[in-house]
Chain A
Amino acid sequence: MAVRVQRENFDLGDEVAALRAGRTDIGAVVSFTGLVRDMGGRLTGFELEHYPAMTEKALAAIEAEARVRWPLQASLIVHRVGPLAPGDQIMMVATASAHRQAAFEAAEFLMDYLKSRAPFWKKETTVTGAAWVDARESDEAALERWTSRQS
């Protein structure tokens, strides 16, 4: 039940430890960490821009939707902004539930929605210059499995 946008790095172990601190009802924690990859040495870094007034609101809405769909005991989204270099951590999600299936599915759901519904934009710098990253059709398609499941 927490959402954070920050320039600083994060420690996955610390975040997960805080998520489950003092609880004995959690049976499964799933976490995902997104990293900057160098794309075969071409990418030298990127800048992550966001829409501050909207970002946390959008992430909180996505998280609230996950909690309607799965019996989550805790969840966390951390997303970094600003300049990042290959190998840097970009973001993480963690979900906690009594059983693994809900935790796995909810983590995937959070990632799929975050990628195309939260106001972040990446501008890549490569050896040939800087360019805004295009959204992928596959990211939009990834949402369909969650909407078709509702009906």
Chain B
Amino acid sequence: MTLNVLYFAWVRERVGLPGEKVETEAATVADLVRELAAREARYAAAFVDMTAVRVAVDQELAGLDAPLAGVREVAFFPPMTGG
């Protein structure tokens, strides 16, 4: 499947991209993170501590165990600091 993967704030800065299309068979968010981290050092740097990263699946907050079947967009970002 092709996923639209987005990065925000320091995750975006570490990866060096705001987003990209990713061709993957990852079953869960955690699988996708492992695939991305194995690609290049900049991805590994972004995902080195997943307790510091939040995930949204199709624009809804989700956990690392969230399944990716039928999903179109996955976003990675730090804890939110609005307000």
A residues lining the B interface (CB < 8 Å): 34, 48-51, 53-54, 57-58, 79, 90-91, 111, 114-123, 132-135
Write the chain B residue with the least CB distance to A119: B80
> A53-B73, A57-B59 given as contacts; is B81 within 8 A of A120 (CB)?
yes
Task: Flag whether B50 is at the interface (Cβ < 8 A).
Answer: no
Report the Cα distance A128→B73, complex, angstroms.
Answer: 36
Q: Residue on A with the closest CB to B13?
A: A132
Q: Known interface pairs A49-B9, A51-B8. Does A119 touch B79 (Cβ–Cβ under 8 Å)?
A: no
Decide if B32 is an interface residue (CB 8 Å cutoff): no
Q: Are A120 and B10 in contact, with the CB atoms below 8 A?
A: no
Contact in complex: A54, B56 (CB < 8 Å): yes
Q: Which residues of B line the A interface, CB within 8 A?
A: 6, 8-10, 56, 59-61, 73, 75, 77-83
Q: Please indicate the chain A residues that have their CB under 8 angstroms from the CB of B60 in the complex.
A: 54, 57
B83 touches A121 (CB 8 A): no
Measured CB to CB, the nearest residue on chain B to A132 is B10
A111 to B56, CA, bound (A): 21
Extra 20 A-B pairs, beta carbons < 8 Å, given A51-B75, A118-B80 = A48-B82, A49-B8, A50-B8, A50-B82, A51-B59, A57-B59, A91-B83, A114-B83, A117-B61, A117-B80, A118-B82, A119-B8, A120-B81, A120-B83, A121-B8, A121-B80, A121-B81, A132-B78, A132-B81, A134-B81
Q: In the complex, how many angstroms separate the beta carbon of A61 from the nearest chain B beta carbon? A: 9
Minimum C-beta distance from A118 to chain B (A): 5
17 pairs from A and B in contact (CB 8 Å cutoff): A49-B8, A50-B82, A51-B8, A51-B59, A53-B59, A54-B56, A54-B59, A54-B60, A58-B61, A117-B80, A118-B80, A120-B80, A120-B81, A121-B78, A121-B81, A132-B81, A135-B78
**Taking the nearest CB of chain A, how far is it from the CB of B62, in angstroms?**
11
| CB proximity of A115 to chain B, nearest CB, Å | 4
- A120 neighbours in B (Cβ, 8 Å): 80-83
